[in-house]
Amino acid sequence: MKRLILTITFFIQICCHVLFAEQIVREFRFGGTKKNQTVIPLREAQAYKDKQGYGFEFSTEQDVRIDSKNKSLFSEKPFYFSVRVPEGNYKITITYQGLNDKPYRSTVRSESRRLQIENQEVLLNKSFDRTFIVHIKDPKIASGETVALKKPRELQKLDWDNKLTLEFQQTNCISTIRIESVSNVPTVFLAGNSTVVNQEDEPWASWGQMIPRFFDAGVAIANHAESGLALSSFLSSKRLEKILSVAKPGDYLFIEFGHNDQKEKGENAGAYKGYSDRLRYFVREFRAKGGLPVILTSTARRAFDEQGKLLQTLGDFPDAARKVAAELQVPLIDLNQKTSLFYEALGVEQSKRAFVHYPAHTFPNQKNDLADNTHFNPYGAYEIAKMVLTGIKENNLKIADHIVDFQGFDPQQPDDFKTWYWPPSLINSVIKPDGN
């Protein structure tokens, strides 16, 4: 009887979720006039108002021109557009319009600087759609608990507010932005630390915010990583509980820890004790939800000896992760090995190009040099995202079928940082993320 009740409850939840997904549709038509239940015409750039539920953020409405004649939005400066929506996965469709005098390029990021569209070329008089998935999360858990967000850092992040925010870079001429909830795509949940999290501020970045760019609209990326966390604090802050409360059969959980786990003290501390036990717990709990866990070894730190040889500073933690993956037959992506090859290929000095190493005054309010050998800049994060994609393909995961614009990656032959382009976001900080 109990099993029957649980089955009926699960069926009702699935039905409600599908119904909910069909109800959330917002289509913003720039310069249009006709309005209905789903279509919202915008004839002028308006600042976001919570009562209205949509609009431009960070005073960027002043940098946008809406042309009623051509029914389009045009800007050659960065701008942010937000829409209030509940938690879930959303398919975003942007309709680009080509200009009649020159081609242009557009970059789009979502929420806390998640890369979605990279340097998209729009040819003369050419119109087309680009579609991608954005996951929206909130700290509420079905049990009535809430995720213990870090104060004040996470409370201020776009990732945790009640809006879906799109950040447009370079040049943009857009006729519509369509937002519709979806429930039929697998979600890849990311559990990790500052090397995985969506870093909101320039010049910091992590691979978790770069990887959405390489998936089509058949996969959602839900990044629950946060700076400074170990497996133990991810659990105690109820982040795994949050993931398990919204995960569905067929979803994935990518688990990458180690940097902060090294700092733990006590009788059960250590790579082959508490760390390994908790990895097993993550795997067991997610499998119980019908999901597929994936273990990733920690990214290596940039540390060279006087002879220019890379030092391995993570002790037994990468080996422990490999052993748990083998023991439980979990797919393994060996980022520790791949990032080590990457740094060695770049060399002692050039490897700084992948990290937050910048002279004073490179960014606003940056009075001192930045020299961080743990946290990545956008270029480094982008390259590591390619290593994760390589691991997905090596493990023959089904989501590999949804990877786009990626032919493979050799960490010993990385992209040239001199030609790689990242238009910086308006939000920046000189404060180093938690964890080292």
Q: Can you count the helices (H) and strands (E) in the chain?
A: 8, 19
Q: How many CA atoms lie within 13 A of 2 on its CB side?
A: 0
| β-strands 72-75, 128-136 pairing | unpaired
Q: For residue range 366-375, what is the model confidence (pLDDT) as tens digits?
A: 999 999 999 9
Q: State residue 33's pLDDT score.
A: 82
As a whole number of angstroms, the distance between CA 14 and CA 415 comes to: 43
Residue 162 is predicted with a pLDDT of 95
CB 137 within 8 A of CB 222: yes
Confidence at residue 67, expressed as pLDDT on a 0 to 100 scale: 94
Stretch (H or E) spanning 236: helix 231-236
Q: How many CA atoms lie within 13 A of 312 on its CB side?
A: 14
pTM of the predicted model, to two decimals? 0.93
Neighbouring residues of 412: CB distance < 8 A, sequence distance ≥ 6: 341, 342, 344, 345
**Whole-angstrom distance, CA of residue 259 vs CA of residue 124:** 48
What contacts 112, CB < 8 A, 6 or more positions away?
A: 157, 158, 159, 198, 199, 200, 209
By CB atoms closer than 10 A (0-12, 13-18, 19+), residue 40 is middle
The architecture in CATH of the region 23-182 reads Sandwich (2.60)
Domain ranges of the chain: 23-182, 185-435
Please answer whether residues 298 and 336 qualify as being in contact, where contact means their C-beta atoms are separated by less than 8 angstroms. yes
| Beta strands, E only, 328-409 | 332-333, 355-358, 370-376
CB-based contacts of 168: which residues, under 8 Å, 6+ apart?
Answer: 75, 78, 79, 80, 81, 106, 107, 108, 174
Q: What is the C-alpha to C-alpha distance for residues 393 and 408, in angstroms, rounded to an integer?
A: 9
CA atoms within 13 A on the CB side of 21: 16
Which residues make Cβ contacts (< 8 Å) with residue 104, sequence separation at least 6? Answer: 121, 122, 170, 171, 172, 173
Please give the average pLDDT of every successive group of 10 residues along the chain, which has 436 residues: 42 44 84 88 96 97 95 98 97 98 98 98 97 98 96 94 97 98 97 97 97 98 97 98 98 97 90 97 98 98 96 97 98 98 98 97 92 97 98 98 97 97 93 83
- Cβ neighbors of 205 (< 8 A, separation 6 or more) are 113, 199, 376, 377, 378, 380, 381, 382
Identify the pLDDT of residue 436: 67
Tell me the pLDDT tens digit for each residue of 166-205: 999 999 999 999 999 999 999 999 999 999 999 999 999 9
Whether 23-182 and 185-435 share one fold: the answer is no
Token couple for 66: 């809406």
Q: Please state the CATH superfamily assignment of the domain spanning residues 185-435 in this structure.
A: SGNH hydrolase (3.40.50.1110)
The reported pLDDT for the residue numbered 266 is 87
Beta-bridged to residue 29, according to DSSP, are: 41, 176
